[in-house]
Amino acid sequence: MEPTKHTVLVRRRALLLAAALLVACSDRSEPQREGVDVGKNSVFTKLVSAEEIEKKAELQYLQIQKQAAGQQALLPRDHPEVLRLQGIARKIIPHALAWNPRAKDWKWSVILIRSPQINAFCMPGGKIAFFTGILDQLQLSDDEVAMIMGHEVAHALREHARERLAKGVATEGGARVLGAVLSAWLGIDPQLTDTAARGGAGLARLSFSRSDETEADLVGMELAARAGYDPRAGVTLWQKMSAASKGAPPQWLSTHPAGKTRIAEIEQNLPKVMPLYERARKGKS
């Protein structure tokens, strides 16, 4: 006998209710992720090839190294400060892989350039660079260096450059934006990277959005904590940055949210990452 319309409707409602219950039970059964919550990567990143960006970034990174070496500004690999940076990177990188599946295949690299700039960056593909000015002028502890490195690595993991490039391509409608933004987005000293500066003429002040910067602060803080570095160092770091910003702000700070804002955000999120730090410290003891 054919089921009545009422019977079909009741069955459909029962199936929908069962499906809803299954989804609800499934959501409750999933363990809540430890650490910070910044959501998914921007959908804009899909508009630009990650491989292309990483390839161009690697070429520019090699160019920066070559130019710095030519000016005797690239510190050797066995320099104590280079070894220090590499040691911190080795502890952070394993925890970076969970944030971006591409990161496991990146050819990570760390260099140190002699320059008074208070600056550091991590290009797409895991290409990290620090300037001696940020280490010397701020007298950074390892915990504070880890906070900076985590922040810059977070920009690469969250593909903020790819997002900015995608938005540029979408609005400008041209691939020429890709090379120009890659050249200018870092804000590198033109005297160190003349070619890059020429390629990015007019875009030297290009920066990430404030939401990107806040996101990088939080993800970087978690990376540092998981690596065994005290995330409370973010507070002392930004106190030092704020002190250094009297007069003309340092390049690394000039496009970022105000120090007081960052400190408040860090303090608000410390309870989420302190357990990760304590666990990492216990694992080392």
Catalytic residue annotation = 152
SS3 33: coil
Residue 160, both tokens: 């903020």
Q: Choose among 280, 283, 273, 221: nearest CA to 33.
A: 273
Provide DSSP, 176-245: HHHHHHHHHTT---TTT-HHHHHHTTT-TT----HHHHHHHHHHHHHHHHHTT--TTHHHHHHHHHHHHT
Q: Which amino acid is at 256?
A: H
- Report yes or no: 260 and 241 within 8 Å, Cβ to Cβ: no
Beta pairing partners, 122: 128
- In sign, the C-alpha dihedral spanning 195, 54, 154, 72 is negative
- In sign, the C-alpha dihedral spanning 98, 103, 109, 110 is negative
Residue 17, both tokens: 């209710």
Q: Choose among 102, 119, 2: nearest CA to 64.
A: 119
Placement of tokens 């104590």 in the chain: 80
CA atoms of 134 and 140, how far apart (whole Å): 8
Placement of tokens 């280079």 in the chain: 82
Q: At what angle do helices 176-184 and 50-70 cross, to 10 degrees?
A: 40
